[in-house]
Amino acid sequence: MHIDFHASAAPTLGVEWEFALVDRTTRDLANSADALFAEAAPRLASPERLHKELLRNTVEVVTGICGSAGDAMDDLRRTLDVVLPAADAVGVDLFGAGSHPFANWSEQQLSEGGRYEELINRTRWWGRQMLIWGVHVHVGMPDRDRVMPVISALLTSYPHLLALTASSPVWAGVDTGYASNRAMMFQQLPTAGLPFEFDSWADFEECIGQQTTTGVIDSMADVRWDIRPAPHLGTVEHRVCDGLSRIDELASVTALLHCLVVDLDTRLAAGETLPSLPPWHVQENKWRAARYGLDAIIIRSTDDERLVTDDLNDLVDRLTPVACRLECEKELHGVADIVSSGASYQRQRAVAERTGGDLVAVVDSVVSELRDSLS
């Protein structure tokens, strides 16, 4: 099966930021996406900046093609300047986290569309459970033949990104003990989870061809790997991260991902062999980051483990020259602020502890973080 990859001449960026909609009074999920769209669409200069998703309790704010993390955040701010007042008018707030702490999946409504209906028809109970939200970052790639090696190398930084963004500790009213329950939930869907590792683009084409022929997928849109190529856009799409509640944290994560992809691609183009891990270590690192978040001790090689935050500090230092070239040094160094102030899962648990387990207060805190970070 031949798959065209529309290569990007420059390492451009695109960011997709998913939000749950929560009721202003009850703080439960609200199936209000249609009403929000109707309110916001006439005011948006670019209506394609706001997307519907599988469930009517969800919207996605997306950027256009951007040159830097700062440009992407400016793009998102312009859209949110319209969407937040529209949400006020509808009586909902935007909630940026990997999961909602007490919502009931059986009360959520599907968005219209045959593709969504087919997904639920196929996945049934697991599909209906997917009350999860994340952040996706696209980085343009100039050469199709370097895409798969870069994706394999990105898996070595999987736990770093998941630990930084973990924001789904509570599920259906219960603290799961995980920093990111979302990561564990999403991999239950067929074609979701960790990507396969391929030696070449031809190997990737063979996999997709076989999955199409055997009815596993209908198109590339059904490939839901945590990191995947987006051939029609000419990008590598990173889908590891939980939902985020602060735009400054999103800026730091976006800058880190931008620098990682550009650094790996530059090294590969220069003839360097990129770092990689055996799939059993990649799988274990994903679990450790989901379970322990910023306290995870990750596997760096067959005989080397390290606290993820220590490794993050060195990673940021190493990528600083790349960040200078990409004009995102300030945003990249904000990674340290996430570590020092605590990731969202830690902040949510702190609110729950202070309030005697009040999960409405947890939702309030996540909603307030978004508004405060935009002010």
Strand-pair category, 135-140 with 92-95 = unpaired
For the chain, what percent of residues have pLDDT higher than 70?
99
CA angle (201 as vertex; 200, 207 as ends), nearest 5: 100
Whether the predicted pLDDT of 24 surpasses 70: yes
When pLDDT is cut at 50, 70 and 90, the band that residue 114 belongs to is low
- Per-residue model confidence as pLDDT tens digits over 271-321: 999 999 999 999 999 999 999 999 999 999 888 999 999 999 999 999 999
Whether the predicted pLDDT of 96 surpasses 80: yes
- Per-residue model confidence as pLDDT tens digits over 362-374: 999 999 999 999 9
Q: Is residue 292 part of a domain?
A: yes
Cβ atoms < 10 Å from Cβ of 342:
14
Looking at the DSSP bridge assignments, the partners of residue 228 are 237
Q: Is residue 326 part of a domain?
A: yes
Whether the predicted pLDDT of 351 surpasses 80: yes
Q: Is residue 61 part of a domain?
A: yes
CA dist 286 and 291 (Å) reads: 9
CATH number at residue 50: 3.30.590.20
CA dist 246 and 5 (Å) reads: 33
Q: Which residue has the higher pLDDT, 348 or 118?
A: 348
Q: Is residue 85 part of a domain?
A: yes
- Per-residue model confidence as pLDDT tens digits over 189-198: 899 999 999 9
* Domain around 86: 13-374
Q: Is residue 3 part of a domain?
A: no
Q: What is the chain's mean pLDDT, rounded?
A: 95
> How many distinct structural domains can be found in the chain?
1
The structure tokens listed for 266 are 């530059």
Alpha helices by DSSP H, listed for the chain, are 33-40, 69-90, 114-128, 147-154, 158-165, 181-186, 201-213, 247-269, 279-292, 308-326, 329-333, 335-341, 344-354, 359-374
pLDDT for the residue 112: 78
Q: Is residue 204 part of a domain?
A: yes
When pLDDT is cut at 50, 70 and 90, the band that residue 166 belongs to is very high
Q: CA–CA distance from 83 to each of 45, 206, 284 (Å)?
A: 12, 42, 39
Q: Is residue 4 part of a domain?
A: no
Q: Is residue 1 part of a domain?
A: no
